[in-house]
Every structure is written in C-alpha cells, then in structure tokens.
Structure 1
Amino acid sequence: MDLHLSGRTYVVTGGSSGVGLATVAELLAEGANVATCARDADRLAAAISDVAPDTGERVLAVAADVRSRTDVDALISGAVDRFGGLDGLVNNAGGSRMAPLWETSMDDWHDEFDLKFAGVLNTIDAAREHLGRSDAASIVNINAVLARQPETRLIATSAARAGLLNLSKSLSFELAPRVRVNSVLLGLIDTGQWQRRYAASEDPRPFAEWEHDIVTDRGVALGRFGRADEVAGIVAMLLSPRSSYVTGTTVEVAGGVSRYV
C-alpha cells in the first residue's frame, strides 16, 4: 500500500537507535526526506550510515538535545532549508528511569519531566509554523503503556508518560485542523536495552528462555518482545495522509500487554 510519503519531509528525534532509527529507515524506504537528531553526533552518523547507506541526499543528521530550544530550532530550520518544507514530526527522544519512589530524587523528577515535556514542546513549537503550510501535517508522540498502566519500578517515568499522554490529547485540539497529533504507546520493545539487561543479569540460560520469563511475568499476550520495525510501520501509517481523519488517538504496539479496556 502506498502511504503517499514520497517526497515529503519528516523530523524524527532520537534517531541514533531503537524506534527512532527504525522510523528513520522506514520513512526513507517510503521515499521521504528525513531530518533526525541525537546528542551523540558520531553515533548518529554511524547508525544512519548502517540503515540507509544509499539515501544520503534525503537524510539530514545533526547533533541536538531536544531539551535545548536553540538545538531544536537549528534542527527544524535545517530540515526546512535542506528540503523546502516540513510535513511531520516524530517525538521519540526519551528514556526510562529505573528506580522506586524513595530512591528517586527531586532532581531526578525534574530531569524526567524536562525530557518528556520540554523535549516535545520545544520541537512542536519550533515546527508548528512550518507544519501549518503542509497539506498533510502530522505529529506522532512516542509514548508507552506506562502512561496508562504505571510500574512501581519506573515510577517517575510512569508519571511523566501519563502527563505526556494528556498533553498529546490537548495538542490534538490546539493544533487542529491543520495538524494531526497522535500517540503510539510502546510495550516491551527490544531496542537493545533488553539484550543489555540480559547480559548484565549473567543468566546462564539462552536469551529466549530469559525473555519468556519476563513476558510471562508482564502478561504479554503475544509471548515475546516487540521489534523496533514493528513500531516504525505504525508510526509511518499515522504520519501518512491515509490517516487523514485520525487525530487525538493512541495506538498500542505492546503485544497485548495492557490490562485495561
């Protein structure tokens, strides 16, 4: 199915690994132009070269911290200058803070909310004027099922994710009708972090057995971790003009992990 993304321009934050990198690759494969960023310029350049070695003229990779408005302004203006406009934005930069409540300092709370909120608001504010000129503008905020189903082991991240989900709904009204805003809620996606946790666990069993215990404990209906490319396809669809009557909604890519209706 043609998603009508060819020739359009998208910005993807946090593009050096995982879901961000998979999304960059997916959009490039669909014929789109992509500007992406990460804090580590060398790592980003190497990652983009690996997934898209023959699309150099259609990709712009820059070092940027989404918490810095100066960095974000440079990212957005660079995309517009290079490709002539902007059709969509994927707010993917982020992370998880593994710590229970009383081991989470107030500085940790500030840092978590700064990343989840400033990182999204900076990019949207910098991009919204340009997006308003597109005939199919779309924003996708990458979030997590933690937004609806908090984990005590990820208490600050859970709270920040819930706030971002609420903010995303508000943004869908604030930016309508010119710009659509949707959320993708991730479950247990193997973006490399699970491989690292497996290695750190020093579990003598094969990875598949270790994985099975985790997904069983978490109640993942499909019985496995998800893949970054499985997320990227959904993101591309939400960016696509084919989703032109979809805004203010959430799509879970979580293998059936949610315990709510």
Structure 2
Amino acid sequence: MDLQLADRAYLVTGGSSGVGLATVRTLLAEGARIVTCARDGSRLADVVAAAAPDAADRVVTCGADVRNPDDVNAVVAAAVDRFGRLDGLVNNAGGSRMAPRSQTTLDDWRDELDLKFSSVLNTVDAALPHLRHADAAAIVNVNAVLARQPETRLVATSAARAGLLNLSKSLSAELAPDIRVNSVALGLIDTGQWRRRYDESGQSKSFADWEAEIADDRGVVLGRFGRADEVADMIVMLLSPRASYVTGSCLDVCGGVARYV
C-alpha cells in the first residue's frame, strides 16, 4: 500500500533513539523528508547518519530542547527553509520518572508536567502556520497506557500522560478539519533499555525467556516486549493521508496489556 508520504516533510522530536529513531527510519523508507531534533545534536547527527546513510539529502538534524520555544521555532524554521513545507509532527520527546508519590517533590512534578506539555505545545505553536498550508496535515503524540492505567511507581508520569491524552483530544477538536491529531499509547517497548537491564542483571536464562517472564508478570497477553519499529509503523500510518478520517483517537500499541475497555 502506498501511504502517500513521498516528498512530504515531517518533524520528529526525540529522534536519536528508540521510537523516535525508528519513526525517522520508517518515514524515510516511505520517501518522506525529515527534520528531527534531540538535546544532544552531535549524537543525533551521528545516529541518524548511521541509520539512514542513503538519505542524507532528505534529513535535517537539530540540537534542541523542546521545552524551549526558541529552540523549537528554530527547528521548524530549519524544516521550512530546507524543504519549503511542513506536513506533520511526531511529538515523541519525553521519558518516565520512576518514583512513588512519597518520593516525588513538587519540583519533580513541575519538571514532568513541563516536559509532557511543553514538548507538544511548543511544536504545535511553531508549526501551525505551516501545517495550515498542508493538504493532509497530521500530528501524532506519543503517549503511554499510563494515561488511562496509572502506576503508583510512576505517579507523576502517569498524571502527566493523562493530561497529554486530554490535551491531544482538545487539539483534535480545535485544529479540525484542517489538521488531524491522534495519539499512540505504548506499553512495554524494547528500545534498548530492556536489553541493557538484561545484560546488567547477569541472568543465566536467554533474553527471550527473561522477556517473556516479565511480560507475563505485567500482563502482556502477547507474551513479549514490543519493538520500536512496531510502534513506528502505527505512527506513520496515522500520519498518512490513508488515515484521513481518523482524528481524536488513541491507538494502543501495548501487546494487550491495557486493562481498560
């Protein structure tokens, strides 16, 4: 199936690893042009060059902190300067804060909420004038099942994810019909961190057996971790004009771990 992405231009935040890097690769494979950013611009440039050596003319990398509006404005300007257009965004920047409420300070709460919201609001504000000129503009916000299924060990992240899901729904109504806004909600995804944990654990069992054991403990019905490329495929489909009648939706990419209906 032709996803109709060739020669369109997309901004992917957090493109130096994991889901962000996999999304860059997948979009490039579909013929799209990419601007991607991360806080460590030098590392990002090296990683993307290694991942897509034959697509250098279709990729721009920028060092940027998505919490800083000036940084994000510069990234969007670089996209438009290089490609003359911007057709969509993938808001992927952000991590998880592993701590219960009793160990989460007010500054921790502020930092977590700032990252989850600023990373989306700044890119949307900077890109909006250009997206309004696109014929099939789309935004995909990378979220987590924590948004609907909170974890007490990740209390601040769970709350921030819930807020981001609500914000995404509001944006889908505000920006319609010109711009579609959707989310993907992730479960346990092996973006390299799980492999590192396995290596550090000194396990005698194979990674596959160790992975299956954790998946079973967490209630992942498919019995394994997801892969970054499996997430990227869903993100790219939602960006595609093929998903032209999908907005305000949240697609679970979690191996069936979600317990909500």
For this structure pair, what is the TM-score category when the shorter chain's length is used for normalisation? Answer: over 0.9
How far did 1:168 drift?
A: 0.2
> 1:177 maps to which residue?
177
How far did 1:203 drift?
A: 3.2
In the alignment, structure 1 segments of 5+ residues that lack a partner are: none
Q: Distance in 2 between matches of 1:238 and 1:74?
A: 26
> 1:67 maps to which residue?
67
How far did 1:200 drift?
A: 3.3
> 2:129 maps to which residue?
129
Cα displacement string for residues 204-255 of structure 1 (whole angstroms, at most 9, x for unaligned residues): 3322222122100111010000000001111111001111111000111101
Provide the secondary structure at the position in 2 that maps to 1:48: helix
In the alignment, structure 2 segments of 5+ residues that lack a partner are: none
> 1:29 maps to which residue?
29
> 2:254 maps to which residue?
254
Q: Distance in 1 between matches of 2:146 and 2:203?
A: 26
**Size of the alignment, in residue pairs?**
261
TM-score, scaled relative to structure 1? 0.98
Q: Distance in 2 between matches of 1:21 and 1:34?
A: 11
How far did 1:195 drift?
A: 1.4
Cα displacement string for residues 55-93 of structure 1 (whole angstroms, at most 9, x for unaligned residues): 111000010010000100000011011000100000000
Q: Distance in 2 between matches of 1:132 and 1:53?
A: 32
Q: How does 1:82-101 map to 2 (within 5 A)?
A: 82-101=82-101
State the one-letter code of the partner of 2:103. E
Q: How does 1:102-181 map to 2 (within 5 A)?
A: 102-181=102-181
State the one-letter code of the partner of 2:140. V
Q: Distance in 2 between matches of 1:210 and 1:143?
A: 26
Provide the secondary structure at the position in 1 that maps to 2:75: helix
Q: Distance in 1 between matches of 2:205 and 2:248?
A: 43
Identity %: 69
Q: Distance in 2 between matches of 1:95 and 1:27?
A: 22
TM-score, scaled relative to structure 2? 0.98
Q: Distance in 2 between matches of 1:196 and 1:211?
A: 12
Q: Which moved more, 1:62-71 or 1:188-197?
A: 188-197
Q: Distance in 2 between matches of 1:100 and 1:109?
A: 11
Q: Which moved more, 1:98-107 or 1:3-12?
A: 98-107
Q: Distance in 2 between matches of 1:116 and 1:241?
A: 26
Residue 201 (structure 1) aligned with residue 201 (structure 2): yes
| Root-mean-square deviation (Å) | 0.9
Q: Distance in 1 between matches of 2:198 and 2:155?
A: 22
Q: Distance in 1 between matches of 2:190 and 2:146?
A: 16
Q: Distance in 1 between matches of 2:151 and 2:217?
A: 13
Provide the secondary structure at the position in 2 that maps to 1:108: helix
> 1:77 maps to which residue?
77
State the one-letter code of the partner of 1:230. E
> 2:210 maps to which residue?
210
How far did 1:202 drift?
A: 3.3
